[in-house]
Each structure stands twice: as C-alpha cells, then as structure tokens.
Amino acid sequence: MQVSDMKRVYPKEEYCMGCALCLVACVVEHSESKDILLAYKKESPRPGERNVVEEGFEGDCFSLQCRHCERPDCVDACINGALYMDNGVIKVNKDHCVACWMCIMACPYGCIYKEKNKEGGWNSNKCDLCPDREIPACVEVCPNRALVYEER
C-alpha cells in the first residue's frame, strides 16, 4: 500500500507548548479579511476550526490536522461526493455538503469539524493545507517549530 509523495504537516509532540497559535492562524488564514482582529471581532460566522491542540493528562500536547490519507475513509463515507481528493489534498465542497456527518463517523483522526455557515446551516470543515500559501499558516506561525511541513 504505497503512499504518494507530497508535503504534509507533521506534529512534533516534544516541542509543542500548547499555545494554540496554530488554531488562531488557521482561522485568520481562512477568514474573508485574513486579518486577525476583523476575523475574530467582525466576521460572522467566524471561520470554523480545522485543527486542534490535543492535551493529555500530564501536560503533554500536540497540534493535529488532517493527515491527508492516501485512501481516505472520509471520502469513502461521504454520501454525496462533497468530500473529494484534489492532487492528494482532501477537500470539502462546502456548498455541496449536507451535514450528514458520515465523515465524522469515518475519520480515525478526528480531523473533521462541524462548521456553521452563513445560511444558518452546517457543513463539514477540515484542513485544506492552505492552498493560497506555500507553507500552511499553522506551521508558519508555530513559535517552537512543533509543526513541520515536509515530505516524508
């Protein structure tokens, strides 16, 4: 079961401080204004989360985002093709999503999130590896290089 070569985001548990700047940078990057103040204070609804900082019982933590699996269970589970692969990147067509949460049932990493949309309904939300950037926002913002973006 071969996995294709592409850059992915990898967490480094031993470096993560749990500051959650990766979450903030992600929200800002996916906001309309791409401005931290406007994104948090003015945009409604604010872009939903796409990543998480997992925290253990002993102060251990790491930042986690979609693994961009070679053969993703979420895409198999999606009942109407709203989740799809685009050159190895798993994306969600929010306009097509029906919020059935089959993807939440399927993702073994817990990397799919519910997002409230402008119409008052819901859609899936997930990491898209920041298509407008060379390095995903979460990786670039991390003050202790606890996230890396590389080919492994």
Partner 1 sequence: MRYVIIGNSAAAVHAIEEIRRMDDSGEIVVFSREPYLAYSRPLITEYLFDGVPERKMAYRDAGFYRKHAVDLRLAVEVVKIDRTRKEIVDSKGGVTGYDKLLLTAGGVPFIPPLKGGDRENIFTMMTWDSAKKVKEKLKDIRRAVVLGGGLIGMKTAEGIHEAGVKTTVIELAPQILSRILDSAGARLFEDYLQKRGMEIILADTLEEVLGDGCVSGVRLRSGREVECDMLILAIGVVPNVSIAKEAGLDTNRGVLVNERMQTSDPDVFAAGDIAESYDLVVDEARVNAIWPLASLQGRVAGANMGGRDESFQGGFPKNSLSLLGLHTISMGHVDPPDDTYEVISRIEREKHHYRKFILKDGYICGGIFVGDIEKAGIITGLIKNRILLEGDVSWLLTGTPQLIWLDKTYRDEKLTKPVYS
Binding interface with partner 1 (CB under 8 A): 1, 3, 6, 8, 10-11, 54-57, 60-62, 64, 67, 69-77, 79-82, 96, 98, 100-110, 112, 114, 152
Counting Cα atoms < 13 Å in the Cβ hemisphere of 133 gives 19
Smallest distance from the beta carbon of 77 to partner 1, in angstroms? Answer: 4
In the complex, minimum distance from the CB of residue 41 to partner 1, in angstroms, rounded to a whole number: 26
CB-nearer residue toward partner 1: 66 or 130 = 66
Backbone angles phi, psi at 18, to 5 degrees: 75, 25
Please give the Cα distance from 24 to 130 (Å, whole number). 14
Minimum gap (Å) between residue 102 Cβ and partner 1 = 5
Q: How far apart are CA 16 and CA 61, in angstroms?
A: 6
Min dist. Cβ of residue 122 to partner 1 (A): 10
Q: Which is nearer to partner 1, 2 or 37 (CB)?
A: 2
Amino acid at residue number 78: C
User: Rounded to the nearest 5 degrees, what angle is found at the Cα of 34, between the Cα atoms of 31 and 35?
Assistant: 115
Select 110 or 143, whichever has its Cβ closest to partner 1.
110
